[in-house]
Chains A and B, each alone.
Chain A
Amino acid sequence: MGKRVGMEVAIAAAEAVALCNIDVAAVYPITPQSHMAEHLADIVHDGRIDAEFITVESEHSSISACAGASAAGARVYTATSSQGLMLMHEILPIVSAMRLPVVMGNANRAISGPLNIWNDHTDIMPQRDSGWICMFSENGQEVVDMSIQSFKIAEHPDVMLPVVLNIDGFQLTHMIEPLEMPSQKEVNRFLPPRKPFAALHPDNPLSMGCFNMPDIFTETMKAKDTALWNSKSTIIKIWDEWGKQFGRYYKPVETYKADGAETLILTMGSMGETASIAVDELRKAGASVGLVKLRLWRPFPVEELRAATAGAKTLIVMDRAISFGGAGGPVATEIKSFFFHDRGRPRIVNFIMGLGGRDVAVDDFMAMVERADKIKDETYEFYGVRES
């Protein structure tokens, strides 16, 4: 069993990545990811792992360098946030199209403008079409576990896709909390060295990152979409392996007191922990409320979500992002889309909340549950806006 320690979660993330014996890291610092970048650089500098830390001049370069290194067969890692992730945007679909198992930690932070360094999910949402596997962590332990799992998932021959792990900026990155760091031996047992499907090498010449004409592009896109959907079964298998080895189990959709609940709250990321307290309080007051937490965002766990929400009358989806001038929060929009044809689907209420570091307290969840009953407009509503 790993040792129980108190650690800042950003530091713990870097330590977990170091346990995975990466070959290359190309990271550009940005608040609130900076401690992850700095500590990983320290680890490499101190010779604790045999890796190359490329000090690039921007995030566009960091992801490009990772793509190149991964194409050469290396195990690579990068981390970013907000505007840094936006700067990577044009490269992200290329990494997934090339089926490169790059792993990225994203310290969720609001995107500009105006400039805001605090926590919400607006940075990852614009990347949801990129073809990356996308997961959310809730606490420090999950950050450690899921960082390690990400490499195994990405590199699995049935997956071969890049993975981004979302870590709420400040709320998680800058939090000192107890967690268990697995030992090097345990991680080695779980995660063997990378065996690339193909790698750039003069002995075995091949081409990667090619050009593609209209007569074949559609087939390429279908293949990529299918690969992402198919990855789910492997992700679940690897989470099962992790559970058997470490005793901590992970599922695409987690539930808390959701069985038989009339009303369900749905969250992603660390606010799920606070939400569970709200569920306890509401239940004490006699309400039939439960919590559903989306851990896996891409590929979207639609069967698991159907099962978790079956029988509920109302599903209150908390989005920490919005698509301006559109259908509201991305999470609610996708769920509505998936459930559109389902008979007996719950009424979906969408709150846009927790933007740009706006604190989300237990009282806020309780207020939203109460407000959900009164909402007439079924599209979406901003929670907690000062009207006067």
Chain B
Amino acid sequence: MKKAKAKKWPEAWKEVNPGCMVFIPGNASTYKTGTWRAQRPILDEKKCIKCGICYVFCPEGCISQNEEGFFKADLDYCKGCGICAHECWPGAISMLEEEE
């Protein structure tokens, strides 16, 4: 199996992998989509009932449960779509403008 090594980007035509195969597995995680965000989710822990609905609905899959049991979005990847806030039925999540 080919050893994947980091190449400069953008590549010259001879450097492109055959078939444009990507040999570095899981490298989607190096692409931080958090920079796309215009709003971020803020969790009111007093209202959170730790049901996990936000985790289920997050299209990015960036919400995970922390040690205390609260579900928090990973801000490296959260795109601020607001679906978690929309689905959170206790209303524990609100969306805050990034600018603030």
Indicate yes or no for A touching B, C-beta below 8 A. yes
A residues in contact (CB < 8 Å) with B? 97-100, 160, 197-198, 204-208, 210, 212, 215-216, 218-220, 222-223, 226-227
Closest to B25 in A: A205
- Considering the complex, give the chain B residue whose CB is closest to the CB of A211: B20
* Selected interface stretch from B5-13, B39-47, B64-72: B5-13
Q: Which of A204, A205, A219 contacts B10 (CB 8 A)?
A: A219
**A219 x B11 contact (CB < 8 A):** yes
Q: How large is the interface on B (under 10, 10 to 19, 20 to 34, 35 or more residues)?
A: 10 to 19
Asked if B26 and A99 sit within 8 Å, CB to CB, the answer is no
Question: 0/1 per residue, B1-38, Cβ < 8 Å to A?
Answer: 11000000011111110111111011000000000000
Residues on B with beta carbons closer than 8 Å to the beta carbon of A205: 25-26
Set A210, A212, A223: member contacting B13, Cβ < 8 A: A223
The answer to whether B21 and A207 have CB atoms under 8 Å apart is yes
Q: How far is the CB of A221 from chain B (nearest CB, A)?
A: 8
Contacts of A198 in B (CB 8 A): 1-2, 18-19, 21, 23
Closest to B24 in A: A206
Q: Is the CB of A220 within 8 A of B26?
A: no
Which of B12, B15, B18, B23 has the most chain A CB atoms inside 10 A of its CB? B18
4 A-B pairs besides A99-B19, A207-B21, A219-B15 with CB distance below 8 A are: A205-B25, A216-B10, A216-B11, A219-B13
Known: A97-B20, A99-B18, A206-B21. A219 touches B12 (CB 8 A): yes
B20 and A220 form a contact (CB under 8 A): yes
In angstroms, how far is the closest chain A Cβ from the Cβ of B13? 4
The 8 Å CB contact of A160, one of B13, B18, B25, is B18
Listed from nearest, the 8 A-B pairs whose CB atoms lie closest are A205-B25, A99-B19, A219-B13, A207-B22, A222-B13, A98-B19, A204-B1, A215-B10
Contact assessment for B16 and A208 in the assembled complex, using a CB-CB cutoff below 8 Å: no
Complexed CA–CA distance, A242 and B75 (Å): 60
Closest to B12 in A: A219
Docked Cα-Cα span, A317 to B76, in Å, equals 62
List B contacts of A227 (CB < 8 A).
18
Could you tell me if A210 and B16 are in contact, using CB atoms closer than 8 angstroms? no
Which among A204, A208, A218 is the interface contact of B19 at CB below 8 angstroms? A208
A214 — nearest CB in chain B belongs to which residue? B10
Partner of B25, one of A100, A206, A219: A206
Question: Across the two chains, which residue of chain B brings its CB closest to A201?
Answer: B1
Find out whether the CB atom of B22 lies under 8 angstroms from the CB atom of A206: yes
- Identity of the chain A residue whose Cβ is nearest the Cβ of B19 in the assembled complex: A99
Q: Which residues of A contact B16 (CB under 8 A)?
A: 216, 219-220, 223
| CB-defined contacts of B1 to chain A, threshold 8 Å | 198, 204
10 pairs, A vs B, C-beta closer than 8 Å: A197-B18, A198-B1, A198-B18, A198-B21, A207-B25, A216-B16, A218-B13, A219-B16, A226-B13, A227-B18
Nearest Cβ on chain B to A234's Cβ, whole angstroms? 14
Nearest neighbor of B27 in chain A, beta-carbon distance: A207
Asked if B19 and A100 sit within 8 Å, CB to CB, the answer is yes
